[in-house]
Structure 1
Amino acid sequence: MYLSVHELIDLEELPSEEQLTLQTIAQFYEEHLCNLIFHYKIRHKKRGIRLHFRTFDLLHLLCIHKMKTGSSYRGKKGFPKLRQGTLTLEMLKKANLGGYERTIYRI
């Protein structure tokens, strides 16, 4: 059974691969991280870190850009395909057998 966006918020441990879809991850990312800026102060540093999440960054954060899925599944073109469910974990497994196992932890 796949987790919903609302269930992801309340998790206390990492979900299994079988509980996730790229579509749900994209929806969560868009609803809860995008268009927000997170500021972090670092002890012993004058400047902090500022994180700003944009939709087209998600494929890079998930390391999908390293998998052999074609350019239509990268950046600005790729995010709508995640949101629509056109790009799936199963497709990533088939596209890049060795790369998938090395990057699934990021997803």
Structure 2
Amino acid sequence: MSQQANTFKSIVDQKLIKSGEKDKLKELLRTRLVESGWRDDLKALCKEVIQAKGIETLTVEELVQEITPKGRAMVPDTVRAEVLQRIRRALVDQND
């Protein structure tokens, strides 16, 4: 990620924290991911990776490295769109 993107992300993050919207967004995301079945799918993915690599040799860090990109890709587009819309709305409301 570029320095400019990091700066933008940091500014957005600060605005969401200041408005109290960040915690609301995190809760919305948690709820939607559970409702969509994403959480169950991620658990199943973890089990598959652990079985394939062996629980004795697999570290938590290795598990996280393997499942993180796949988990992000598995987030339903509808959930992603809803959260992004709420972020946009929160930022617009702060500028009014």
| Higher relative contact order (Cα pairs below 8 Å, separated by 6+ residues) | 2
**Structure of larger gyration radius:** 2
Which structure's residues are more often helix, by fraction?
2
User: What's the TM-score once normalised by structure 1's chain length?
Assistant: 0.21
User: What's the TM-score once normalised by structure 2's chain length?
Assistant: 0.22
Which structure's residues are more often strand, by fraction?
1
